[in-house]
Structure 1
Amino acid sequence: MSATASSPPPPGSVQFDEASSTVMLRTAASCYVLRVDRTEGAVRHVHWGAPVPAADAAELPVWTGHDDSFEGRRDGVEEYPVDGGARFGVPALEVRFADGSSPVEPRVEDIRINGGNHLVIALRDRSRPLAWELHYRVPSGGDVLERWTELTHTAGPDAEPLHLTRCSSAHWPLPQRPGWRLSSVHGGWSAENRLERTALTVGETTLTSRRGHTGHHANPWVVLDAGHADEEQGETWATALATSGSWRLTVQRTAARRAGVVASEGHEGVEIPLAPGQRYVTPISVAVYGTGGFGDVSRAFHAYVRRHVLPHPDELRPVLYNSWEATSFEVGEDNQRALARRAASLGVELFVVDDGWFGARDDDRAGLGDWIPHRRRFARGLRPLSDEVHRLGMSFGIWVEPEMVNADSDLFRAHPDWVLHLPDRTATELRHQLVLDFSRPEVTEWAYGWLHALVGDNGVDFLKWDFNRSFTEAGGHGGRPARQVHVEHARGVHRLLDRLRAAFPALRIEGCAGGGGRIDLGILGRTDQVWTSDNTDAVDRLTIQHGFSQVYPAGVMSAWVTDSPNPLTGRSVPLAFRFHSAMAGVLGIGGDLTRWTGPEIEEAARLVQRYKDIRPLVQHGRLDRLLAPGEGLLAAVQYTDAEARRTAVLVWRSSTSFGPAHPPLRLRGLDPAARYRDEDTGAEWSGATLAGYGLPVPALPDGDCASALVVLHRTGRPESEGSRSMSPW
């Protein structure tokens, strides 16, 4: 290795020691070491954790299991385990060859490093026409590793296809520890992102979506620790998968105290036919190691999303208004104009027309697929409304659901074969709609045509792209197996979004799937924000947003202020609490503004301006979760700019209870030698005091659902030892 024997390679690099066939990948605070055995055709894992000197890495032993006829000596250690030989762990690669056989026998072909930060290990089967490359990359400026796999059918053009039945992005082996704890999120529609930490049992634990989309019920990421980490300290290992279709993360813990994560497209596997000469590229899997607890890992993911995933990471997302809860399917030009005027008076920057503007869309039983303006409600088309919204100083957005169709639509009557269903089975309708097969090029070509016309002809600046049901009867008319459709549909969506954004570089898009049903690193690479949940209850949102923040940054988390009582839960919540809850992400307003009182409109306008003031901190700053919702009387989050010049703290109390006063909030990420002033009260403390003693809890209004926002700025006057003296006792 090129680094000296006493030091690790520089961050953001890949180093190869040819004598020992050892590779080290370095991030800012971690290293990942593997060893290539050309004789056995194996790529074995050595170390993933704190940095070690390069000379030591080359000498570290590779762990092996018991040498007996019942153990797989490579299990838990191979970087990319295949189905074949004495391997009994979870495989990353399974193949069905043309003769029906499946065992794979790897051989190492080549090792190369591209650009100093991209490792490629080329392998192939020793006798069958299959080659695959393991790709490792260290993105610049962070603590993240990327991995993916590329597979190729190497036979001549006259050969039979082979089928990939499992082709994982990566296997991430972890070190030996006495025990392991698994962190993940679970839930359902309107109850997404419920964070759960449980002991990892020996065996295989699988998180998955069988729905054809990322899903409300789980999300494709996991965090593992040895059971001792908390928000601020402790070793943690995390991985996520950038896929938007069905997926599977299998976390394996062996009796030998090893653990590992296999990250894959498809819920039970895939069914990808590979023709001679054809190449298949898996989604990227992303992983982080940190020593600063769960908060450290979250901030590494947040920085990665901003630097390497989002199309426009430097932009501030606008304050939006969405008309759905005000007008539902009664949307029309006149009521939208009235709402737009009210929204503009609040300081809203983006006005979004929701469902009901098209076709024969008088309710959710008809019209999906017929993307022309409703003849009665928008007799003049959409352009007059778009022009009026622009005249009021706002951008114009509109809701679409391109992947769905109602049976009562002109599209379905013309193309019943475009939907996911089997010819001899009853097509299952959910929400009175069927799923269009976006794995088929003719379907995505149709969608691109009307989307291009909609955006181009009507001055559309923003699309809310929705997806309101899961897959059933996948396959059939398209001639593709269901497992293939479960992954290829999402790839068709990705390609369509890429094409649309290339045609309209100024277009911005919000991803939505009945709320948080399609949130992942894959969709974030093609959208600017995501709708977090259809549940807009400000108290429930604190829990949803807490789980969301474990991997995804606040700058992509769309959150609305809606009416009280809440239309879903019936809970009554003060306007300030509703705003403070939504101000923790990308602020939106979704209530019926025509029913808000004059004082409510005035208060809302003040709070919109307050949000715009702290928006750079929330959307681009460092996030610290100070107090988790549900674990005590208060919940609190802190946002701080990169230079620690300014910080904002949001505090919520969902319910009152008798007891002692809450201890001060110990802030994080501030300059200990500087002083910070409360912009509202003028109170001033040193950064050291705010971290060590804490920020006194601000006075909260009486009663349930009380909240506060505290903003501190650095005064530029460092703490002086001689500025104030204290008499000795």
Structure 2
Amino acid sequence: MTTCFHRLDAPDQTLVLMTPQARMPQLLYWGEPLPADCDLDALARSREPALPHGGLDVAELVSWLPEPGRGFTDSPGLAVRRGRRHLYTQFILQSAKRSHDGWDFELGDAAAGLGLSLRLGLHADSGVFSADCRLTNLGADELAVDGLATMVLPIPRHLTERQSLGGRWAGEFQTTREPMSSAAWVQEARLGRTSHHAFPGLLLMEPGTHATQGEAWSVQMAWSGNHRLVLQRLRLGGAQLQAGELLLPGEVILLPAESHDCPTLHMARSSEGLRRLSLRWHRFIRECVLPAMPAPRPVQFNTWEATYFDHDDRRLTALAKAAAELGVERFVLDDGWFAGRFDDRAGLGDWVPCPKRYPQGLAPLANYCRALGMEFGLWVEPEGVSQASELFRAHPDWVMGVPELDQPLGRHQFVVNLALPAARQHLFAQIAALLRSAPISFLKWDMNRDMTHAAGPDGCATARQHVLGLYSLMDELREAFPSLEIETCASGGARADLGILRRSSRVWVSDCNDPLERQKIQRGFLGFLPPEVMGVHVGDARSHTTGRVSDMPVRTLNALFGHLGIEANVLHLSEEDACHLREAIKVYKAERSWLHAASITPIDHLDPGVSATLAIAADGSRALASAIAVGQPHDAILAPLRVPGLSPNWTYQVSLHPLWWPNPAAGKTATSLQTATPLMLPGRALQTSGLALPILREGSGVLVQIQAIQ
């Protein structure tokens, strides 16, 4: 049988799949654009390996789902069984159809009684590819799915370094870059939410790759639950990357004619370094993932660190008034507003206003905020339930867990099993009643509990169905209330992924508001996700999570490139800090119309004590670059700040923004930027030689304004 080829072209790249002998599709080529008349058969033959002694007589290459039944001897792409009988599959291609944006494949294995539907789509404008996989039980008996990747990629041998995102509570999105080792690298999240410690994405790159140079591949999954990434050196050489949902034992049992859909896997590539890769992701997410968002992104105030559970009408109205005077456009009432919620030990699950604190409900406070010119938002945690709650007492069977088995608490709470339709219907009714009772246009949707006993009333695993139930509940609320916006939060940034972002317009990235720690967190976040959904708050001078004290200018500068908010107690601001914050909000409002459509990425600086971020307008007419000293600089005189991405032949006017002016006492002399006269420089010079930075002390920063001269 002949080999067929299935080609997809974007303006700056080509991807080719092949189906040798009508078998499982394999990735043949992904790289720079190929000529339209390229001989793909010759390309395939040029990649055929020689076989060494001592092994099988065929070399089974990495396919979309590598099959042991074909002789693949490394980690397989799928593991299925009927009872105790493991199925060794040998799928045969039945059809391959070209659509306007991709290829659709249908495969079958008559002996195993399985059908497989695969799709590879291309969003040509961003250059991001999307893979989908559906497995169908065509047999007469039930089928247990123990493992199934969405797709498996063969990794080119020159991509020998990996970069992942991990971390912890208040320290999410930490970047780890390491050489690929001979041992398999496995990253798992098995606690029911995306997790603090294991972002469902990965970069693979050649040595020496940085912001503007080198080839890199990147993947991320559109899934908010358990997931698994496996990077494995192959026994015969090369490597494979498997990406898929992590299935608990017995979690997917297919009856005859039933199907299982894997989470979508998105893939991007760059030959121009990591900045280009990030911008691919940002454009794709903006155009294909995010729900329609009203522009501009409003400045918001969140009450959490100002009040915690101590809700008082006088304090809240005073906070609202002070926030409005600063220029805030949305007031968000955080945890502590509902019945019995005087600390984190009770009340969760009873989504009605506390009759003692809010005897007339939330409408008076919401209407007061509206009268001040602000929207009103509300914190909820629909998936959580306290033991001391009416919901728990009425429906203990709705609590996720193994019956008659004790489980540890998290934040003194359990998880409501959203796989249960009755639980979802109850929560929908309560939240809908809240939204109708007051002018509430925004929900901060939190989830503070890992799932340690992810089982339903029958004792069977239900983590996957819980996530699908979560999606269903959110979708139903958004359909019933079309103007409702949702912010995703899970003890900070433990639920940030392309699955939840189809339903959310904002991500609460971390519970840490320390601007220096946030710089590290936000650098990792921006590698995969766009800045306009990145919730960044100006907190109190002394961070509630690290204890570090930061000046107001660095707190506002840190927040400028994201979706700006305030969590500091605005009633306790000094006159100087209040004045600066008010002016910073004016800057944000003046710039956000282009910032939230801009190319915003971290940029490399040679000094490890300096964190830099660059925003370039979509039309290239303007840019902003921040440089923040997150530690003591290594050198007495900082290395120049080079600004990539500008038009090399354009001339730009360059100056420092006066609101973030460097401390003149930090050095003996000033740089040319610290004068009243802007510099006129070509884009090529800014990219190549860069700008001399002022002396920056730890915890200070500057904002460089760059304007094209027509």
**TM-score range, shorter-chain basis?**
over 0.9
Tell me: CA distance 1:313–1:90, structure 2 relative to 1, closer, same or farther (3 Å). Answer: farther
- Offset, 1:28: 2.8
Find the partner of 1:154 among 138, 153, 157.
Answer: 138
Deviation at 1:118, TM superposition (A): 2.1
Tell me whether 93-102 or 685-694 shows the greater mean CA deviation: 93-102
Q: What's the TM-score, normalizing by structure 2?
A: 0.93
Q: Are residue 254 (structure 1) and residue 253 (structure 2) matched?
A: no
2:128 is aligned to 144
Instruction: Specify the alignment match of 1:360 in structure 2.
Output: 340
Distance 1:267 1:710, change over 3 A: farther
Instruction: Determine whether 1:27 maps to 2:10.
Output: yes
Shift of 1:694: 1.4
Query: For residue 10 of structure 1, what is the aligned residue in structure 2?
Result: none
TM-aligned CA distance change 1:530 to 1:393, over 3 Å: same
1:297 to 265, 277, 281: 277
Instruction: For 1:204-603, list aligned pairs within 5 A.
Output: 204-266=184-246, 271-312=251-292, 315-477=295-457, 479=458, 481-482=460-461, 485-603=462-580
The answer as to whether partners of 1:48 and 1:175 remain within 8 angstroms in 2 is: no
Q: Secondary structure at the match of 2:25?
A: strand
Residue 100 (str. 1) matches residue 94 (str. 2): no
Moved more, 244-253 or 326-335: 326-335
Structure 1 position 362, deviation (Å): 0.5
How far apart are 1:267 and its partner, in Å? 5.8
Determine helix, strand or coil for the equivalent of 2:40.
helix
Q: Which amino acid aligns with 2:309?
A: F
Q: Deviations over 1:568-613 (max 9, x none)?
A: 1111110000111121311110011111122221111001111222
| Of 22, 31, 34, the match for 1:52 | 34
Distance 1:563 1:98 in 2: 58
* In structure 2, C-alpha distance between the alignment counterparts of 1:656 and 1:333, rounded to whole Å: 44
- Structure 2 Cα separation of the partners of residues 448 and 84 of structure 1: 47
Q: Which residue of 1 aligns with 2:662?
A: none
**2:668 matched to 1:692?**
no
**Aligned equivalent of 2:170, options 190, 196, 208:** 190
Secondary structure of the structure 2 residue equivalent to 1:329: coil
Equivalent-residue separation in structure 2 for 1:270 and 1:148 (angstroms): 22
Deviations 1:56-113 (A, max 9, x none): 3232125457376745945552122235342222222221225733322212111111
Task: From the superposition, tell whether residues 685 and 226 of structure 1 become closer, same or farther in structure 2 (CA, over 3 Å).
Answer: closer
Output the amino acid matched with 2:145. L
Structure 1 residue aligned with 2:110, among 126, 130, 134?
126
Once the two structures are superposed, residues 309-360 of structure 1 have per-residue CA deviations (whole angstroms, 9 ceiling, x without a partner) of 1002573321110001111101233322111111101111111000000010
Q: Distance in 2 between matches of 1:326 and 1:245?
A: 32
SS at 2:463's partner residue? helix
Deviation per CA, 1:513-564: give whole Å up to 9, x if none.
Answer: 0001011111111100100111111111111111111111111110111111
Q: Structure 1 CA distance, aligned partners of 2:235 and 2:114?
A: 33
CA distance in 2, matches of 1:353, 1:83: 55
My pick for the range that moved more, 97-106 or 587-596, is 97-106
Deviations 1:380-406 (A, max 9, x none): 100111111111111110000000100
Which amino acid in the other structure matches residue 31 of structure 1?
Answer: T
Counterpart-to-counterpart distance in 1, 2:404 and 2:459: 16
SS for the counterpart of 2:86 is coil
Residue 692 of structure 1 aligns to which amino acid in structure 2? Answer: T
**Conserved in 1, the CA contact under 8 Å of 2:441 and 2:485?**
yes
Local SS of the residue matching 2:263: coil
State yes or no: 1:90 paired with 2:84: no
Does the residue aligned with 1:113 lie in a helix, a strand or coil?
Answer: strand
Deviations 1:119-153 (A, max 9, x none): 11111113232201111001131111100101222
Alignment check: 8 A CA contact 2:228 2:245 kept: yes
1:112 counterpart (88, 97, 103): 97
- The alignment partner of 2:336 has SS state of coil
Match of 1:43 in 2: 25
CA distance 1:246–1:122, change in 2 (3 Å): same
Equivalent residue number for residue 706 of structure 2: 712
- Separation (CA, whole Å) in 1 of partners of 2:98 and 2:631: 56
User: Is 1:638 matched up with 2:618?
Assistant: no
Matched residue SS, 1:469: coil
Q: Deviation per CA, 1:145-187, whole angstroms, max 9, x where unpaired?
A: 10010122224xxx3321222222111222233x611110121
State the Cα distance separating 1:196 from its structure 2 match: 1.0
Q: 1:77 to 1:63 in 2, by over 3 A?
A: farther
Higher mean C-alpha deviation, range 54-63 or range 146-155: 54-63
Residue 669 of structure 1 aligns to a residue whose secondary structure is: coil
Please, which moves more after superposition, 389-398 or 262-271?
A: 262-271
Question: Compared with structure 1, are the counterparts of its residues 72 and 572 closer, same or farther at alpha carbon in structure 2 (3 Å cutoff)?
Answer: farther
- Mean Cα deviation higher: 519-528 or 104-113: 104-113
Equivalent-residue separation in structure 1 for 2:490 and 2:635 (angstroms): 42
Aligned amino acid, residue 571 of structure 1: R
SS of structure 1 residue aligned to 2:424 = helix
Contact 1:307 1:313 in 2 (8 A): no
SS state at 2:172 partner = coil
Question: 2: distance between equivalents of 1:299 and 1:270?
Answer: 40
For residue 187 of structure 1, give the secondary structure of its aligned residue in structure 2. Answer: strand
| C-alpha distance in 1 between matches for 2:39 and 2:453 | 54
2:665 paired residue number: none
Give 1:604's aligned residue.
581
Matched position secondary structure for 1:34: strand
Secondary structure of the 1:711 match is strand
Alignment gaps of 5+ in structure 1: 1-17, 717-729
Q: How far does the alpha carbon of each residue in 1:4-49 deviate from its partner, in whole angstroms, 9 at most, with x for none?
A: xxxxxxxxxxxxxx9741111222322221211345x332331122
The 8 Å contact of residues 27 and 145 in structure 1, kept in 2 or not, is answered as no
Are residues 306 and 293 of structure 1, via their aligned partners in 2, closer, same or farther at CA, if it must alter by over 3 Å? same
Whole-Å separation in 2 of the counterparts to 1:180 and 1:659: 31
- TM-aligned CA distance change 1:454 to 1:71, over 3 Å: farther
Mapped contact 2:62–2:153 kept (Cα < 8 A) = no
Report sequence identity in percent: 31
Q: CA RMSD in A?
A: 2.1
Deviation at 1:674, TM superposition (A): 2.1
Which amino acid in 2 is paired with 1:58?
D
The answer to whether the 8 Å contact 2:512/2:543 transfers is no
Deviation per CA, 1:408-451: give whole Å up to 9, x if none: 10000011111111122113211100011112222212111111
Q: Deviations over 1:252-294 (max 9, x none)?
A: 2225442221111116677312122222221110111110111
**1:63/1:416 CA distance change after superposition, 3 Å:** farther
* Counterpart-to-counterpart distance in 1, 2:587 and 2:448: 34
Shift of 1:715: 2.0
* In 2, Cα distance between equivalents of 1:89 and 1:75: 10
**In 2, Cα distance between equivalents of 1:637 and 1:45:** 35
